[in-house]
C-alpha cells in the first residue's frame, strides 16, 4: 500500500483518507483532508500559508537537508520481498527515527539561539521608552535614581540649519 503526500500540506495521506482531484492534463492533486482541499480551491499558495510544510521549508523553520531523509523515497518499481532485508529495515526504522528527531531538536536549538538576549534588549527598550506610563515624569524630577543614566550625544549646528530651511 502506497502512502502518498498531501499536495498542500505535505503530510502523509493514509489509505481511505482525503480526496483526490484529477486535472484534465492528468495531474493528480491529493489532499489529506477537506481543509487542504478548500485551501486549494481558494487558489492559495502553500508556500505562503504558514502552517504548511512548504512554508516552513522555504523560511528555514525546519531542517531541510539531512541524510536521514534519504531513506524515505518513492520507487516506481516494486521491491522484491527479502525476509532478511525486511527484518533489518524494521530494526533500522526506530533507530533512524531517533537520530532524525535529535537532529531536528538541534536545528531548533540553533535557530532559537539569540532569543534570550533579544528578549532582554526588547525589555530594556520598553522600560526606557514607556516608563512614563507607570510613573509620571514629575516623579523622576524629584528622584533621579529611578531613571536610566542619560547618554550624552553631541549635536552640532545641524538643527539650526534645518530650521532655516523650513
Q: Which residues bind other proteins (CB under 8 A)?
A: 13, 15-24, 26, 28, 41-43
- Positive or negative, the CA dihedral 41, 47, 51, 52 is positive
- Longest Cα–Cα distance of the chain, Å, equals 90
Nearer to other proteins, 15 or 94 (CB): 15
| Residues 122, 134: Cα–Cα separation, whole Å | 17
Nearer to other proteins, 42 or 164 (CB): 42
DSSP percent split of the chain into helix, strand, coil, nearest 5: 50, 5, 40
Strand 12-13 versus strand 4-5 pairing type:
antiparallel
Nearer to other proteins, 41 or 121 (CB): 41
Nearer to other proteins, 42 or 153 (CB): 42
Cβ atoms of residues 111 and 62 within 8 Å:
no
Nearer to other proteins, 16 or 94 (CB): 16
Strand 28-31 versus strand 19-22 pairing type:
antiparallel
Least Å distance between CB 62 and other proteins? 27
Say whether 6 sits in a helix, a strand or coil: coil
Least Å distance between CB 25 and other proteins? 8
Cβ partners under 8 Å of residue 34, min gap 6: 19
Least Å distance between CB 43 and other proteins? 8
Least Å distance between CB 11 and other proteins? 14
Least Å distance between CB 28 and other proteins? 6
Amino acid at each position: 500500500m502506497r502512502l502518498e503526500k498531501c499536495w498542500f500540506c505535505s503530510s502523509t495521506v493514509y489509505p481511505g483518507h482525503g480526496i483526490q482531484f484529477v486535472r484534465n492534463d492528468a495531474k493528480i492533486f491529493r489532499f489529506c483532508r477537506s481543509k487542504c482541499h478548500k485551501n486549494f480551491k481558494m487558489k492559495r499558495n502553500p508556500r505562503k500559508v504558514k502552517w504548511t510544510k512548504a512554508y516552513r521549508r522555504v523560511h528555514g523553520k525546519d531542517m531541510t537537508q539531512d541524510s536521514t531523509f534519504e531513506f524515505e523515497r518513492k520507487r516506481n518499481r516494486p521491491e522484491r520481498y527479502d525476509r532478511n532485508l525486511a527484518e533489518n529495515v524494521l530494526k533500522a526504522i526506530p533507530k533512524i527515527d531517533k537520530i532524525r528527531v535529535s537532529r531536528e531538536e538541534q536545528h531548533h536549538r540553533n535557530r532559537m539561539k539569540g532569543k534570550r538576549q533579544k528578549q532582554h534588549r526588547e525589555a530594556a527598550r520598553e522600560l526606557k521608552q514607556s516608563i512614563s506610563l507607570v510613573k509620571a515624569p514629575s516623579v523622576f524630577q524629584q528622584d533621579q535614581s529611578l531613571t536610566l543614566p542619560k547618554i550624552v550625544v553631541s549635536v552640532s549646528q545641524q538643527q539650526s540649519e534645518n530650521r532655516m530651511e523650513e
